[in-house]
Amino acid sequence: MTQRLKLVATNMAGVVVAVIVLVPFLWTVLESFHGSDVFAPTFSLFRPTVSSYQYVLLHTAIPQEFLNSLIACAAALAISIPVSCLAAYGYSRLRFRGKAVLFYGVLVTQILPATAMVIPLYHVWSLAHAFNNLVALGVAYAAFNMALAILLVRNFFDNIPLALDDAASIDGCSRFQTFWYVLRPLVTPAVAAASVFVFINAWQDFLLASSLITNSGRFTVTVGLYAFEGANTTNWGAILASSVLVSIPSVLMFAVAQRYLVRVVSGGVKG
């Protein structure tokens, strides 16, 4: 009986711990259903209302900014994923001089922080007149996330026996045919995981978007939300409702990606 009681207590403790950790976000979610008078005594009767969400969806730029973010994310995915798969195959299957050095270069790009690269990019963007271009922003996202994708997919390639390549080549497949018809279907999980991570990182970015996009019509969700907060400092209901909306895609993607995550991060180690 005491055993059982202890078990119940531990589970309860687990819930309490989780609630404490999540309080800041739970608060955001709760208050977003509170309407506009967020600072009314919070412990009074709580009648949820979606008025803040209605306001955000109908009277703010958030829907447009969702679209802008999706365009940048789509561009990032469309560029980084095919290019990373090719490179991953090259590092896994080909032998050539300078491979180690080139691969070292890939690892360096993974560590280059966006904070140190934002000014250099700003200069190049002004050379190339690429400001306010969501596809160009997507290219930048692709560059910052390709190392991760290459590492992840290469790891999968490395775990596929070479015998499979040999069999395909005996059957008359060219290298590219082997890549496309034999190996590509086998690395789908890695490609899926890489895509999810590219999307999350692109969706969450504030730094690059805020310096490479200057026209408010092209703002992504993160920059748009920040601008909205600056312009409507008292409309907490709408600010918090927008926050919840902006979080949904990235939280969903994280839920999908969670089981890959550990493998991704330790992937560079075990190999």
Q: Which is nearer to other proteins, 29 or 57 (CB)?
A: 29
Which residues, numbered 144-173, are part of the site for other proteins (CB under 8 A)?
144, 146, 150, 158, 162, 166, 169
Question: Looking up tokens 């991760």, which residue turns up?
Answer: 148
Q: Which is nearer to other proteins, 2 or 107 (CB)?
A: 107
Q: How many residues bind other proteins (CB under 8 A)?
A: 98
CA-to-CA separations, 6 to 3, 11, 16, 20, 96, in angstroms, rounded: 5, 9, 15, 21, 61
CA-to-CA separations, 85 to 39, 48, 77, 190, 227, in angstroms, rounded: 51, 47, 12, 10, 37
Choosing from 15, 44, 47, 215, the residue that interacts with other proteins (CB under 8 A) is 15
Asked if residue 198 lies in contact with residue 142, where contact means CB atoms within 8 angstroms, the answer is yes
Binding of residue 100 to other proteins (CB under 8 A): yes
Q: Rounded to the nearest whole angstrom, what is the least distance from the CB of residue 83 to other proteins in the complex? A: 5
Q: Which is nearer to other proteins, 77 or 146 (CB)?
A: 146
Q: Rounded to the nearest whole angstrom, what is the least distance from the CB of residue 49 to other proteins in the complex? A: 18
Which residues, numbered 208-227, are part of the site for other proteins (CB under 8 A)?
211, 221-222, 225-226
Q: Rounded to the nearest whole angstrom, what is the least distance from the CB of residue 185 to other proteins in the complex? A: 18
Give the dihedral sign, CA 188/191/196/197.
positive
Binding of residue 1 to other proteins (CB under 8 A): no
Binding of residue 132 to other proteins (CB under 8 A): no
- Helices 221-231 and 236-270: crossing angle in degrees, nearest 10, is 150
Q: Which is nearer to other proteins, 98 or 185 (CB)?
A: 98
* Rounded CA Rg of the chain: 23
Binding of residue 66 to other proteins (CB under 8 A): no
Q: Rounded to the nearest whole angstrom, what is the least distance from the CB of residue 58 to other proteins in the complex? A: 21
Binding of residue 111 to other proteins (CB under 8 A): yes
Stretch that binds other proteins, among 44-52, 54-62, 107-115, 184-192 (CB under 8 A): 107-115
CA torsion 115-119-121-124 (nearest 10°) is -170
Binding of residue 50 to other proteins (CB under 8 A): no
Choosing from 48, 189, 217, 271, the residue that interacts with other proteins (CB under 8 A) is 271
Binding of residue 9 to other proteins (CB under 8 A): no
Asked if residue 55 lies in contact with residue 49, where contact means CB atoms within 8 angstroms, the answer is no
Contacts of 169 (CB under 8 A, 6+ apart): 175, 178
The distance of Cα 116 from the centroid of its chain, to the nearest Å, equals 20
Which residues, numbered 233-252, are part of the site for other proteins (CB under 8 A)?
236, 239-240, 243-244, 246-247, 250-251
Choosing from 140, 168, 191, 193, the residue that interacts with other proteins (CB under 8 A) is 140
- Helices 221-231 and 62-93: crossing angle in degrees, nearest 10, is 150
Closest by CA to 71, choosing from 190, 175, 218, 196, is 218
Binding of residue 255 to other proteins (CB under 8 A): yes
